[in-house]
Amino acid sequence: MISTKIYDEIVEFIAKANPEQVVNFFISPQSQERVELLISKKKEGNLSEEENNELEYFLVLEHIMRLAKARAMKHLSQAA
């Protein structure tokens, strides 16, 4: 389990780097298709261990980016 403090430090760094770019970041359509395929395979019970690890890594990164986007929006609103 990753400490909340570590997440918070990473999220704050990402959010402050360039808040506008963070807010506007989205994964590529190809990456989105890959994630959707992995989710579909997981629901069907056909996910390999390697694919499951890939999906888990994505979910951690997605969580970090959601937090960073929220924090970046806050920085942008305070700067306005």
Q: Is the pLDDT of residue 63 over 80?
A: yes
Contact predicate 9/67, CB 8 Å: no
Q: How confident is the model at residue 2 (pLDDT cuts 50, 70, 90)?
A: low
Alpha-carbon distances, residue 12 vs 17, 26, 61, 62, 64 (angstroms): 8, 18, 14, 15, 10
Q: How confident is the model at residue 1 (pLDDT cuts 50, 70, 90)?
A: low
Q: What is the pLDDT of residues 18-34, one digit of tens each?
A: 999 999 999 999 999 99
Q: What is the pLDDT of residues 33-60, one digit of tens each?
A: 999 999 999 999 999 999 999 999 999 9
Nearest Cα residue to 50 out of 34, 74, 71, 26: 34
Domain boundary assignment for the chain:
4-19+27-79
Find where tokens 């306005």 sit.
80
